[in-house]
């Protein structure tokens, strides 16, 4: 057993026994610990401060009931959570996820990852995550509004522009952020940036909706540029049909790539000659209707593969943009067999440990979500400063700033990840994020 493995195992044994069953959290922590634990042990200040152990332990986990009335007049009860992981480098910051399968384990791992992602942006943003087991599918607009208002009644005492600034995530988009912000504004009596992802009409940033998907493509372009390559002409397989997936697809098309798949929980839409913007408009419309991707528009050659993932198609670049753990060993092998050379994560932790092993063995260049999908939170950071200054940037200004932020994140990660075998982006992201957090945590003492 090498030193890093021994130290990682010893470190995992120091975690709270109460977290023993949180498999996603343990997976995320182990991946970071493998890369940073030796660095921590070699620095007497960081080792004494127990930096990594303190990042794993959230500052607080708030759990609350959400009681609301559906359209039939029946009382519904859901559970809500907010995990405030660390505010060492800025106000707590991270999205809200509404999904019937969401668990505290998901939110704990996402809040942990968010600390590193936000550190990588270079902006003053701490780490958090939240959500509810509420299932929005089939709910009317009025039900969504009442749920959001009830959720905010419970969350409001814990958030604020200098305290904790939630944003969207799965099933929480512009509509939900609007209802959540309206409820917060009414309860607090203050017009301030307590949430990001707002529409530009009431204090949101241009390009925030697009930012995660666009930023993912800018990150991939920075990776390719290192070898003198461009995304133009590459075949790109994308999973998901939500916010991240569709905006990544649009930007990839605009930059000259051929996007060959989008997908959802029911299957994959495969377009061998590529999607165009009109076809993506149709996908967006289907998602809004709660419909699957069967019966695609006639103007593109496309087939719906029911129950299939997008990874069995002939692609150069894979962008998982749906959910966690969607690329297991088998999916990773399919990607390798079909010639994928680069995988960048739009979703959070979509690649399992076994999947990663397969990709590494086949020398697929791999970019972790905490770096590649940081564009959304980076533009949220810009939204916070625009709201504070009461001065808003144009769409072109934000887009240019996003390109620069993603290129800077890439360079930070590439510098830390450089080794004899090329760049290890996962290691680079973990180390660069850790160093910033370690400096902040040790400077502020044992609190
Ligand atoms: P959305 O809710 O907009 O879309 C998620 C999509 O993924 C849905 O179309 C859903 O399908 C699909 N999906 C979910 N589970 C599966 C599955 N097991 N197999 C296939 N498809 C699935 O979410 P976002 O686009 O906002 O988020 C996607 C990912 O990106 C998440 O991991 C999120 O944490 C991450 N992310 C999002 C950011 C943002 O700014 N929004 C920022 C950074 C990361 P269906 O329609 O059938 O439900």
**Residue 278 sits in the same domain as residue 247:** yes
Mean pLDDT of 74-101: 98
State how far the Cα of 127 lies from the Cα of 117, in Å rounded to an integer. Answer: 8
**Residue 331 sits in the same domain as residue 230:** yes
* Closest residue CA from atom 38 of ligand 1: 169
Domain count, the chain: 3
* Closest residue CA from atom 4 of ligand 1: 242
Give me the residue label for tokens 């921590």. Answer: 40
Q: Does the beta carbon of 149 lie inside 6 Å of ligand 1?
A: no
At residue 199, the pLDDT reads 97
**Residue 219 sits in the same domain as residue 72:** no
CA of 322 to the centre of ligand 1 (A): 4
**Residue 295 sits in the same domain as residue 161:** no
Rounded to the nearest integer, the mean pLDDT of the chain is 97
If one counts every other C-beta atom within 10 angstroms of the C-beta of residue 199, the result is: 15
421 pLDDT band, cuts 50/70/90, is: confident
CB < 8 Å & 24+ apart, contacts of 259-262: 260/235, 260/236, 260/310, 260/313, 260/314, 260/315, 261/237, 261/310, 261/313, 261/315, 262/238, 262/293, 262/310
**Residue 185 sits in the same domain as residue 218:** no
Q: Is the residue at 165 inside a domain? A: yes
CA of 277 to the centre of ligand 1 (A): 20
Q: Is the residue at 37 inside a domain? A: yes
The CATH number for 289's domain is 3.40.50.720
State how far the Cα of 87 lies from the Cα of 224, in Å rounded to an integer. Answer: 34
Q: Does the beta carbon of 132 lie inside 6 Å of ligand 1?
A: no
Q: Is the residue at 366 inside a domain? A: yes
**pLDDT greater than 90 at residue 31:** yes
**Residue 364 sits in the same domain as residue 215:** yes
The closest-lying atom of ligand 1 relative to the alpha carbon of residue 245 is 25
* Closest residue CA from atom 16 of ligand 1: 265
**Residue 46 sits in the same domain as residue 79:** no
**Residue 180 sits in the same domain as residue 229:** no
Mean pLDDT of 314-320: 97
Per-residue pLDDT tens over the stretch 219-251: 999 999 999 999 999 999 999 999 999 999 999
**Residue 252 sits in the same domain as residue 340:** yes
The closest-lying atom of ligand 1 relative to the alpha carbon of residue 290 is 46
Q: Mutate which of 197, 242, 267, 409 to test ligand 1's pocket (most atoms within 8 Å of Cβ)?
A: 242
Q: Is the residue at 378 inside a domain? A: no
Q: Does the beta carbon of 257 lie inside 6 Å of ligand 1?
A: no
State how far the Cα of 198 lies from the Cα of 72, in Å rounded to an integer. Answer: 30
Q: Which of 313, 338, 372 marks a domain boundary?
A: 372
Q: Which of 342, 372, 402 marks a domain boundary?
A: 372
CA of 309 to the centre of ligand 1 (A): 14
**Residue 217 sits in the same domain as residue 187:** no
**Residue 218 sits in the same domain as residue 367:** yes
Burial class for 201, CB neighbours closer than 10 Å (0-12, 13-18, 19+): exposed
Q: Does the beta carbon of 322 lie inside 6 Å of ligand 1?
A: yes
* Closest residue CA from atom 33 of ligand 1: 347
Q: Is the residue at 25 inside a domain? A: yes
Rg (CA), the chain: 21
State how far the Cα of 429 lies from the Cα of 417, in Å rounded to an integer. Answer: 7
More confidently predicted of 420 and 424: 424
Q: Which of 349, 372, 395 marks a domain boundary?
A: 372
Q: Does the beta carbon of 373 lie inside 6 Å of ligand 1?
A: yes
At residue 179, the pLDDT reads 98
At residue 1, the pLDDT reads 80
Per-residue pLDDT tens over the stretch 124-138: 999 999 999 999 999
**Residue 215 sits in the same domain as residue 357:** yes
Q: Mutate which of 96, 169, 237, 383 to test ligand 1's pocket (most atoms within 8 Å of Cβ)?
A: 169
* Closest residue CA from atom 11 of ligand 1: 264
Per-residue pLDDT tens over the stretch 138-155: 999 999 999 999 999 999
* Closest residue CA from atom 7 of ligand 1: 322
Residues designated as active site: 129
Q: Is the residue at 10 inside a domain? A: yes
The CATH number for 83's domain is 3.40.50.10860
Query: Would you say how long the chain is, in residues?
Result: 447
Mean pLDDT of 92-121: 98
Note down the domain range covering 158. Answer: 60-191
The closest-lying atom of ligand 1 relative to the alpha carbon of residue 292 is 47
Distant-in-sequence, close-in-space partners of 92: CB < 8 Å, separation ≥ 6? 59, 84, 85, 86, 126, 127, 128, 163, 164, 165
Buried/exposed code over 294-305 (b: 16+ C-beta within 10 A; e: otherwise): eebeeebebebb
Q: Is the residue at 402 inside a domain? A: no
Proportion of the chain above pLDDT 70, given as a percent: 100
């Amino acid at each position: 057993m090498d030193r890093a493995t021994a130290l990682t195992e010893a470190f995992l044994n120091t975690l709270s026994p109460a977290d023993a069953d949180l498999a996603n959290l343990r997976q995320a922590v182990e991946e970071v610990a493998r890369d940073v634990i030796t660095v921590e042990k070699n620095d007497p200040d960081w080792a004494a401060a127990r930096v990594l152990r303190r990042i794993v332990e959230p500052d607080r986990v708030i759990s609350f009931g959400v009681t609301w009335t559906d359209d039939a007049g029946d009382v519904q009860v859901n559970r809500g959570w907010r995990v405030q992981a660390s505010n060492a480098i800025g106000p707590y910051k991270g999205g809200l996820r509404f999904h019937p399968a969401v668990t505290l384990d998901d939110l704990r791992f996402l809040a942990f990852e968010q600390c590193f992602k936000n550190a990588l942006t270079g902006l003053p943003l701490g780490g958090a995550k939240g959500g509810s087991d509420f299932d929005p599918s089939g709910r009317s607009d009025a039900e969504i509004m009442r749920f959001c208002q009830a959720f905010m009644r419970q969350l409001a005492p814990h958030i604020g522009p200098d305290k904790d600034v939630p944003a969207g995530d799965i099933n929480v988009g512009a509509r939900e952020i609007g209802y959540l912000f309206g409820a917060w504004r009414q309860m607090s009596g203050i017009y301030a940036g307590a949430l990001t992802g707002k529409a530009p009409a009431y204090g949101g940033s241009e390009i925030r909706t697009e930012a995660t998907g666009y930023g993912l493509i800018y990150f991939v372009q920075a990776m390719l540029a290192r070898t003198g390559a461009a995304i133009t002409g590459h075949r790109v397989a994308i999973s998901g049909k939500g916010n991240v997936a569709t905006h990544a697809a649009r930007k990839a098309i605009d930059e000259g790539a051929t996007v060959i798949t989008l997908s959802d929980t029911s299957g994959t839409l495969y377009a061998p000659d590529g999607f165009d913007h009109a076809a993506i408009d149709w996908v967006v419309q289907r998602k809004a209707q709660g419909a699957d991707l069967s019966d695609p528009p006639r103007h593109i050659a496309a087939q719906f593969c029911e129950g299939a993932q997008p990874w069995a198609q002939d692609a150069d670049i894979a962008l998982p943009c749906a959910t966690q753990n969607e690329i297991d060993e088998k999916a990773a092998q399919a990607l390798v067999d079909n010639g994928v050379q680069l995988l960048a994560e739009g979703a959070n932790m979509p690649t399992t440990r076994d999947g990663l092993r397969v990709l590494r063995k086949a020398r697929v260049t791999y970019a972790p979500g905490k770096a590649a999908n940081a564009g959304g939170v980076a533009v949220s950071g810009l939204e916070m400063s625009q709201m504070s200054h009461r001065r808003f940037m144009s769409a072109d200004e934000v887009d240019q700033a996003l390109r620069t932020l993603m290129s800077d994140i890439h360079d930070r990660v590439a510098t830390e990840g450089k080794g004899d075998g090329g760049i290890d982006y996962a290691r680079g992201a973990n180390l660069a994020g850790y160093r910033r957090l370690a400096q902040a945590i040790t400077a502020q003492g044992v609190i």
